[in-house]
Amino acid sequence: MKKISLVFFGSQKNSAELLGLLVKDDRFKVVAVVTQPDRPVGRRKDITATPVSRVAEKNKIDILKPERGNKKNLLKDSGELYESLRSYNFDLILTYEYGQLLPAEVLSLGKLGGVNIHFSLLPSYRGAAPLPWQILHGEKETGITFSKMGAEFDAGDLLYQEVQEIKSEDTTVELHEKLSMRVLDITPNILLKYLERKLEKVESNYPESYCPRMKREDGYIDYIEFKEAVEGNEKRANKIMRMLRAFNPWPGMYTLVNSKRLKILTGKVEGDKFMPENVQWEGRMAQKWNKSI
């Protein structure tokens, strides 16, 4: 059987795990990897390659690192990327949490175009940060969608979907981990079925919606709302609990007390009240909640 050749677009840990899996699978040949450029990381600002880049380097796969362009979500020097990739003569582009929109000329290089893996039940929650917004809005289920790539984010034909329950205690980190593990289980066979033209277009009944990239301000809760939740307001308490679950680990959740930033790190809902457990004043160590705050 002829190996399926593909170019892999991704950056983070879960993308690197899928790349490592595909590299070891004799049915596939990863001819090149496209990932985010090396960035300064940590307090020392050490220039660090992405996890995907490290896996590619270990396996001696060609690596391309185009910069993000001035226009939102578009790549800089997409013409240069096109010229770099055209010599590979590959079957498919696979993107998994890469975060950039690919130009049509780049997608055209794959004999069967491009396939993207997304963590929502498309067309609901299109965009860069689907999981936190689903938790924040109180959704009871999410899922994994494989779709064809097109001119807009997550707007191509749906190739495969499966549902995953969102449990009442799930944080973004935990839900992301569950879905990432499932991706490792199902991706190779889904790609094979797609390339053998055995996947029929999925008709989704989920409503269309879009979720933007998260900003630091998204974790803000007005102090009056926070106080009401602590004193006993079920609606406010549940909202704050969803924020804590959704914005873990970033951007976190905070309020302003006399113009000072107070991060709410952990807490729980008891009856109609939100019970803070650990908090942190900006620039200080975390501490137990004090009712006098």
Domain residue spans of the chain: 4-211, 216-288
Predicted confidence (pLDDT) at residue 249 exceeds the cutoff of 90: no
DSSP-based three-state secondary structure for 46: strand
pLDDT at position 123, please?
A: 97
Each residue's pLDDT tens digit, 198-217: 988 899 999 999 999 899 99
Q: What residues are paired with 13 via a beta bridge?
A: none
Report which of 146, 142, 212 is spatially closest to residue 170, judged by C-alpha positions.
142
Cα separation, 236 vs 79, in Å, equals 50
pLDDT of res. 69: 63
Please identify which residue in the block is written with the tokens 């307090």: 43
User: What local confidence, expressed as pLDDT, does residue 71 receive?
Assistant: 54
If you classify domain 216-288 with CATH, what class do you get? alpha beta
User: pTM for the whole thing?
Assistant: 0.94
pLDDT tens digits, 57-81: 999 999 999 987 655 555 666 788 9
Q: Give the mean model confidence (pLDDT) for residues 228-253.
A: 96
Compute CA distances 240 → 22, 38, 249, whole Å.
Answer: 40, 35, 15
Name the residue type at position 168: S
Q: Check for a shared fold between 4-211 and 216-288.
A: no
State which CATH number among 3.40.50.170, 3.40.50.300, 3.40.50.2300, 3.20.20.150 fits the domain covering 4-211. Answer: 3.40.50.170
**Does a cis peptide bond (omega within 30 degrees of 0) precede residue 251?**
yes
Give pLDDT, residue 77.
Answer: 63
**46 pLDDT band (50/70/90 cuts)?**
confident
CA distance 131 to 145: 13
- Respond yes or no on whether the N-terminal peptide bond of residue 40 is cis (omega within 30° of 0): no
DSSP string, 69-84: -SSTTBBTTHHHHHHH
Residue 153 has pLDDT above 90, yes or no: no
Bigger pLDDT: 77 vs 126: 126
User: Nearest-CA neighbor of 20 among 55, 54, 50?
Assistant: 55
Provide the pLDDT for residue 40. Answer: 86
Longest Cα–Cα distance in the chain: 70
Q: State yes or no: pLDDT of 293 exceeds 80.
A: no
Q: Report pLDDT for 76.
A: 60
